[in-house]
Amino acid sequence: MNKPRKLAAGNWKMNGTLAALAELDALLEEGDRDCEVLICPPATLIHPAVARIAGGGIAVGGQDCHAAESGAHTGDLSAAQLADVGADYVIVGHSERRTDHAEDDGAVSAKAAAAHKAGLTAIVCVGETEAQRDSGETLDVIARQLAGSVPEGATAGNTVIAYEPVWAIGTGRTPTTDQIAEVHAALRNALVARFADGAGFRLLYGGSVKPSNAAEIFAIANVDGALVGGASLKAADFGPIVAALDAVG
């Protein structure tokens, strides 16, 4: 089985207006790559981002979706609506959604299933808090989140797993390479045990990824790319991260 290309995904979170799309131009100028590049801007920018890229080799995704296809859900967007405006991916279960909106594993699984139904690739996020890390619960937390958040019917083609330790997101702190390797190995083993194509799922690391540490992180076994937050907002920062991933082949 051919494994999907490595993936450099940028999560802009609640940042950016139309003017920010100029950053995409610099990324487009870098030309063809062996890895896949994805930008997940705010929902207001998805359609204009798709239009600006115009088949130029960068994918666009959403940052969240509702589990329902339609209905009385003011302020929410369905996976079908994201696909309708050109999105290829959607992030589900990000720690900020789990914390700020009290989303549990069941809700995340339902959103991922909705993404699959709409033809989107779901990026399912898992990760432990600092307290859970310090108390030695990391692998148990990750196993529980993975089991509960990834729906039946997930495949290496429609699902990506992103490990984002909550304590490393936007803090400048990064786990050691051994800590990242341990979690990614556990994720891989769990996926292989559950899914026939578990060896093919892409596993991303996220949490204070930046140009200065990207190459070291991408050299770790079972790290197939990154989910990048703040460093994805500027091409000057995200471009070197993409280049580092491209270099590992």
- Which run of H or of E encompasses 92? strand 89-92
Catalytic residues: 94, 164
pTM higher than 0.85: yes
pLDDT at residue 181, rounded to an integer: 98
Can you tell me the distance from the alpha carbon of 186 to that of 180, in angstroms, rounded to the nearest whole number? 10
pLDDT at 191 over 70: yes
State the CATH number of the domain containing residue 170: 3.20.20.70
| Calpha distance 74→224 (Å, rounded) | 36
pLDDT surpasses 60 at 1: no
- 1: in domain: no
pLDDT per residue as tens digits for the range 93-107? 999 999 999 999 999
Q: What is the mean pLDDT of the segment spanning 115-132?
A: 97
Q: What is the mean pLDDT of the chain?
A: 95
One-letter amino acid of 165: P
Q: What percent of the chain has pLDDT over 70?
A: 99
Q: Write down the pLDDT at residue 63.
A: 98
* Percent of the chain's residues with pLDDT above 90: 90
Higher pLDDT, 122 or 208: 122
Structural domain of 200: 7-248
Domain tally for the chain?
1
Query: Does 223 map to a domain?
Result: yes
The residue-averaged pLDDT of 98-124 equals 97
71 part of a folded domain = yes
Q: What is the pLDDT of residue 2?
A: 64
Tell me, yes or no, whether 99 lies in a domain: yes
Residue 58, pLDDT above cutoff 90:
yes
**Cα–Cα nearest to 140, from 153, 151, 150, 126:** 126
Confidence (pLDDT) at 32: 81
DSSP 99-147: HHS---HHHHHHHHHHHHHTTPEEEEEE---HHHHHTT-HHHHHHHHHH
Mean pLDDT in residue range 32-58: 95
Q: pLDDT tier at 168 (50, 70, 90 boundaries)?
A: confident
Q: Is residue 144 part of a domain?
A: yes
State both tokens at 121: 């690739």
Residue 2 domain-assigned (yes or no): no
